[in-house]
Structure 1
Amino acid sequence: MLASRTHPDVLEVASLTDVPRSTRIPVGEDRLGRSRSVFGVMPFAIKVSSRDSGGASLVIEQANAYRGGPPRHLHHDQDEWFYVVEGEYVISIGEETHRLMPGDSVLAPRRVPHAWALVGHAPGRMVIAFWPAGRMEEFFDAAVELDGTPAPDVARPLFAAYGMEVVGPPLAVE
């Protein structure tokens, strides 16, 4: 409800066109109705599209069946937040290393190198958010075109095209 501009004691109902609509995305489904995998091995689903938030954020749910993760990289313009739903992960952010279990979360600030890896022997699942969204949704669209983790000479220009920089190899998984 909004206060009337004509009299402070009179309330009026806001038009439904003034209120953003909520969107429910069922478990296992993608906001855009797609089924896809990053580098052909990490299924993910967009839960909040950059278009849903006016570019303010992008939220994905990513499943990991294989141990390991992406190369150490940084985002020039995005903070990246990780929330572990299932599995055991190690996330290195700057000089710190965190072991995350279900229910744990950590923030990787923009311009700070980071990498993560599924280290447990069971599959894992994380919710990952980016603020602001930047071109991350476009990056994931491009990454689904690749089959397998790209070699460094392919990864560097791909990451750079979307505002990121590859600064090292993936985390070693013992």
Structure 2
Amino acid sequence: MQRRKFIATAVVSIPAIALGETLLTTESRTDKGFVVKANESRFKETTKLFGGTSPNDIKVSSKDTSGNLTVFEYTGNVKGGPPLHIHHNQDEIFFIIEGEYTFKINDTYYELQKGDTIFLPKKEPHAFTQRSEKGKMYFMFQPSGKMEDYFRKLATFKGQPTPEEGAKLFSDHDMEIVGPPLE
């Protein structure tokens, strides 16, 4: 009799567990649309990269999407970009608003300019560099992962992190450096 009661309780509990996970997932999701104005960021938070010269604003936060998507607007006021790296858990999409960029996915190079979009699948080695003096782009991660925190931490550096600091920063945020930045 006890076994029958245990099995019945377990079977009845499965939908309750699934419902509980759904409620927890949607709890942190925004339930209303919103607008983020030009040159502003969601929650009024701005991270500035390259020694404080280049704003990287969150437009749509992981808090808005239950961690499913984060969108950034980056204004590049200096040339350069990240080292060749892999995101183990996120796809990435870039949409160029202004400037000229070179992207590398595996061994293939792409030249992008205003209006161009590039998709970078997770687990594919990639890097980019801003070639123009000024640039602007929207880029997004799906799912969000730890990317908002990564940029917050990166913004605390006065300049470029040392190779050791960079490797730790990437590793702490589920990424891996696999080569140097593009020239």
Please give the residue correspondences for 1:29-68 in structure 2 after superposition, counting only pairs within 5 Å. 29-40=40-51, 41-68=53-80
Q: 2:109 aligns with which of 81, 93, 97?
A: 97
Identity %: 37
Q: Higher Cα Rg: structure 1 or 2? A: 2
* Residue 70 (structure 1) aligned with residue 82 (structure 2): yes
Q: Which structure has greater helix proportion?
A: 2
1:5-40 CA-partner distances (Å, limit 9, x unpaired): xxxxxxxxxxxxxx9200100000010202321242
Structure 1, unpaired ranges of 5+? 1-18
Counterpart residue identity of residue 20, structure 1: D
Q: Is the 8 A contact 2:46 2:58 kept in 1?
A: no
How many angstroms does 1:87 deviate by? 0.2
Aligned residues: 153
CA RMSD of aligned residues (A): 1.2
How many angstroms does 1:170 deviate by? 0.6
* Structure 1 stretches of at least 4 aligned residues deviating more than 6 Å after TM superposition: none
TM-score, normalized by length of structure 1?
0.85
Distance 1:133 1:35 in 2: 17
Q: Is the 8 A contact 2:50 2:78 kept in 1?
A: no
Distance 1:151 1:28 in 2: 30
Distance 1:35 1:136 in 2: 14
Please give the residue correspondences for 1:64-143 in structure 2 after superposition, counting only pairs within 5 Å. 64-120=76-132, 122-143=133-154
How many angstroms does 1:42 deviate by? 2.7
1:41-78 CA-partner distances (Å, limit 9, x unpaired): 43111000000011000100001111111111110000
Q: Is the 8 A contact 1:39 1:150 kept in 2?
A: no
Distance 2:179 2:104 in 1: 12
TM-score, normalized by length of structure 2?
0.80
Q: Is the 8 A contact 2:104 2:128 kept in 1?
A: yes
How many angstroms does 1:127 deviate by? 0.3
Distance 2:107 2:180 in 1: 15
Distance 1:32 1:38 in 2: 18
Structure 2, unpaired ranges of 5+? 1-29
Counterpart residue identity of residue 152, structure 1: P
1:105-161 CA-partner distances (Å, limit 9, x unpaired): 1011001111100112x3000101000001111111111111111111110010000
